[in-house]
Chain A
Amino acid sequence: MDNLLTARSLMGLTLAFHIIFAAVGVSLPLMMTVAEWRWRGTKDPAYLLLAKRWAKGTAILFAVGAVSGTVLSFELGLLWPRFMEHAGAVIGMPFSLEGFAFFTEAIFLGIYLYGWDRVPATLHLASGAIVAISGALSAVFVTFANAWMNTPTGFDLLQGKFVNIHPFAAMLSPAAVPQVVHMVLAAYTAAGFATAGIHGWLLLRRGRNRFDEVAIAIALTIGGVAVLAQSVSGDALAQMDATRQPMKLASLEGQFHTEKGAPLRIGGLPYPNERKTKYALEIPYGLSLLAFHRADSVVAGLDQEPQSDWPNVRMVHISFQIMVGCGGLLSLFALISAWLAWRSRPLGIHKTFLKALVLVSPLGFLALEAGWMVTELGRQPWVIYKIMRTSEAVTSTANVNVTFFALTGVYFVLGITVIWLLSRHVIGSPRQQELEVS
């Protein structure tokens, strides 16, 4: 493999791994704090046990997320020294602020995990809330940096050099707010549904019990509200893309030709050489309506750029379809759950509902990974959109593949161990049998 492909593969692998831990780090502390808050209000021991269990999960995932985040910060220099040399000053601000958010998260997580008997009740609950807030802030700052790569602002370009840099303006680039909202909601959706799914599965296995039922109530509420809000956020992001990154929009929709009143394509497979997206279900004027909220608006197609500057249209389009498809299914599921909960509580008695919940629960993470592929692959061949190509940013150091294989091996072992560990902690404990209703 050449350096560019190796570096991109390694960065992609690390991020695909890290994004799972980061998402859990954003949402699990919120659930754990809600559980503790409910316990303090109701004195129901199921909530306390839940808070402690989720805290344990947070502890494992946060530690692994912390080290994989460190790997990423080093990889910026190891793999993309030219990008950092030029852009470091412009995008350093969100990373620096993220450092402080991370500090706060680590400090209060320490107090939360090991301070049950050492700090007053209010401080303990507040620590959980601070972990949840600072975890979300970390995601906000890191996504700010990514947004800048999509819509770079806050500087002037003079003979290939960045001058007149304004770090705060760069941090709040046009993509910043829509992308951050989308990312944070995605984290709540993914971890909310995944957690609800795990407890749904446990509920099926060990029969009705209060512990799993309150767990599902909290996790599904957070995941459901987030996924419903996600459709609004996605619409805002698509409109931003339509004006700021029209080529990304064109490739994720498989729009090869600039068109007035463009249709929305559902599914289908783009054929870049024939400049056609085949087999798609086309909704007339759909894309124009979505992108500009006007049926007769003109949507720019990939034909505006030479083919050598296109992203991998097929991959971007498919990833986008997966993301939207998963999001749609989860939204539908959230609405059905809300209706069921309103009609007949508790949800735990509906076996079919629980089975469906288990079935849809991984879709949040699938959508998260797919959506991240859309934004990263859709930006190619640029690392900084229309400013610097990814191929110009990569390191020229030899033997990058040594780094690749070493870190890939380590992540492989880490991933397996974490899954095994979590399954032991959430599922395998023999004491859990006592929860079953005889």
Chain B
Amino acid sequence: MHADILLSIVMLLALVLYSLLGGADYGAGFLDLTCSGPRKERQRAVIASAIQPVWETNHVWLILVVVLMFSGFPAAFSAIGARLPGLLLLILLGIVLRGSSFVFRAYFAGDAQTQVYWGRVFSISSSLTPFFLGIVIGAISNGSAPVSVSSRGSWFRVAWLEFFPLSVGLLSLCLFAYLAATYLAVEAPDRELQDDFRRRALISGGVSVLAATLTYLLAGFYAPGIREGLASSSLSLAAELGAVFSAFFAFRSLILRRYRRARVAAAAQVALIVIGWAGAQFPYLFRPGVTLFNSAAPANVLWDLLLACGAGGLVLFPSLYLLLRVFKERRGTGSGSESNLQEDFLQVSGAEERRT
């Protein structure tokens, strides 16, 4: 196996995990917008406690994709930086606002109205960021952006504001909302809340099937390269078939209220869609000009990076297993540290009184 292909598989794995974990966090932020009815506040609480311990860890998958790209495929990274500056800026604003507004909301100590306002910033930026991330995937796949570091791109002459990238953006948002709703149905503490998220999972799942169909059709007009890949690469065909089966199984499990199965099936569905895209995009990193092969760093550098990833993985995966086991296996009892803080204050002041 060649080092460039191996490293791209590692990046694909990181991208899949980012979609399944980080994507669901964005989706949950989007669902925060849809919270309504008598259980509105309880729905929000389920969402917040599901994201809180894990979102920073999940976000690191994106950073890993970015650093592996600029280390292993530096020419592709600089081409994306030079050609899609406006889009990347929008993603950055989304990432910054999502993360900071989430902690600001969680640790806010002022009036309730401002806290609501931070919550709004959180949910809107959670919805826009996956949309823009999807547009990046669309823009590097559709092959219309002329790729060269030296050619002058422009913030305003937007190469990505086209039907195909926009539909990929829409598809990403729908899929992430669907994932989040499916996960939250497992984590919700009672039947009513489970049903709330089940309904959202079915709706967003249905919309994402439509968005996927639309994307596929638009690819025929605007992104012939990726369309051809989707129809001819055997990896893509197998993945697409698997995704359809998983989707069917996930919907069936959701209807039957078998949430744990639905969670596995929905995750498999989204993972297979990402893998199917990667199969169709192979060997391109940024169509039309930049491939894995012509942008890769020298082979010895790639092998060193793979070595680093292997060593890092030995630390990462057991730790990740521990994290998910601690927070996602048992059903939420709320975060302990917050409720205890009050008692501790009293304890300390009590101790002080005894001392004096």
Which one of A87, A104, A117, A167 contacts B333 once the chains associate, using CB atoms below 8 Å? A117
Flag B152-180 by CB within 8 Å of A: 1 or 0 each: 11111000000000000000000000000
Flag B221-240 by CB within 8 Å of A: 1 or 0 each: 00000000000000000000
Residues in A with CB closer than 8 Å to B322 are 107, 111
Residues in B with CB closer than 8 Å to A399 are 85-86, 154-156
Assess the B301–A92 pair: CB atoms within 8 A: yes
**Roughly how many angstroms separate A434 CA and B341 CA in the complex, as a whole number?**
14
Assess the B344–A45 pair: CB atoms within 8 A: yes
From 46 to 84 in chain B, residues with beta carbon under 8 angstroms from any chain A beta carbon are 52-54, 56-57, 59-60, 62-64, 66-68, 70-72, 74-75, 77-82
Assess the A118–B336 pair: CB atoms within 8 A: yes
**Roughly how many angstroms separate A106 CA and B315 CA in the complex, as a whole number?**
13
Say if the beta carbon of A231 comes within 8 Å of chain B.
no
Assess the A210–B352 pair: CB atoms within 8 A: yes
Flag A53-92 by CB within 8 Å of B: 1 or 0 each: 0011001101110111111011011110110111111111
Chain A interface main SS type: helix
**Roughly how many angstroms separate A62 CA and B99 CA in the complex, as a whole number?**
10
One of A261-269, A334-342, A372-380, A390-398 at the interface: A390-398
Say if the beta carbon of A425 comes within 8 Å of chain B.
yes
Assess the B150–A92 pair: CB atoms within 8 A: no
**Roughly how many angstroms separate A336 CA and B330 CA in the complex, as a whole number?**
52
Nearest chain-B residue to A404 (Cβ)?
A: B89
Residues in B with CB closer than 8 Å to A88 are 70-71, 74, 77-78, 297
**Roughly how many angstroms separate A436 CA and B227 CA in the complex, as a whole number?**
70
Flag B86-114 by CB within 8 Å of A: 1 or 0 each: 10110111011111101110011110000
Assess the A102–B297 pair: CB atoms within 8 A: no
For the complex, count residues of A whose C-beta is within 8 A of B.
Answer: 92
Assess the A97–B308 pair: CB atoms within 8 A: yes
Which one of A109, A114, A209 contacts B327 once the chains associate, using CB atoms below 8 Å? A114
Nearest chain-B residue to A210 (Cβ)?
A: B352
Nearest chain-B residue to A420 (Cβ)?
A: B110
Say if the beta carbon of A385 comes within 8 Å of chain B.
no
Assess the B323–A64 pair: CB atoms within 8 A: no
Residues in B with CB closer than 8 Å to A434 are 345-346, 349
Nearest chain-B residue to A130 (Cβ)?
A: B319
Assess the A97–B56 pair: CB atoms within 8 A: no
Assess the B336–A114 pair: CB atoms within 8 A: yes
Say if the beta carbon of B326 comes within 8 Å of chain A.
yes
Say if the beta carbon of A98 comes within 8 Å of chain B.
yes
Flag A10-54 by CB within 8 Å of B: 1 or 0 each: 000000000000000000000000000000000011101100100
CB distance from B54 to the nearest CB of A (A): 6
Residues in B with CB closer than 8 Å to A398 are 152-155
Say if the beta carbon of A157 comes within 8 Å of chain B.
no
Assess the B351–A84 pair: CB atoms within 8 A: no
Assess the A109–B56 pair: CB atoms within 8 A: yes
Flag B320-356 by CB within 8 Å of A: 1 or 0 each: 1011001100100101110011101111110110011
From 421 to 438 in chain A, residues with beta carbon under 8 angstroms from any chain B beta carbon are 421, 424-425, 428-429, 431-432, 434-435, 437-438
Say if the beta carbon of B218 comes within 8 Å of chain A.
no
Residues in B with CB closer than 8 Å to A114 are 52-53, 327, 335-337
Assess the A119–B71 pair: CB atoms within 8 A: no
Assess the A60–B59 pair: CB atoms within 8 A: no
Say if the beta carbon of A228 comes within 8 Å of chain B.
no
CB distance from A141 to the nearest CB of B (A): 10
Say if the beta carbon of A1 comes within 8 Å of chain B.
no
**Roughly how many angstroms separate A382 CA and B58 CA in the complex, as a whole number?**
36
The 9 closest A-B pairs by CB, nearest first: A92-B71, A77-B81, A88-B74, A100-B312, A89-B297, A399-B155, A117-B336, A81-B78, A434-B349
Interface residues of A (CB under 8 A from B): 44-46, 48-49, 52, 55-56, 59-60, 62-64, 66-71, 73-74, 76-79, 81-82, 84-93, 95-100, 102-104, 106-111, 113-119, 163, 165-168, 209-211, 395-400, 402-403, 406-407, 410, 414, 417-418, 421, 424-425, 428-429, 431-432, 434-435, 437-438
Q: Show 24 A/B contacts (Cβ-Cβ < 8 Å), sorted by A.
A: A44-B351, A46-B348, A74-B91, A74-B92, A77-B81, A81-B77, A89-B72, A92-B74, A98-B67, A103-B57, A107-B323, A110-B57, A111-B323, A114-B53, A114-B335, A115-B327, A115-B336, A163-B298, A167-B305, A398-B153, A399-B156, A417-B100, A424-B110, A434-B345
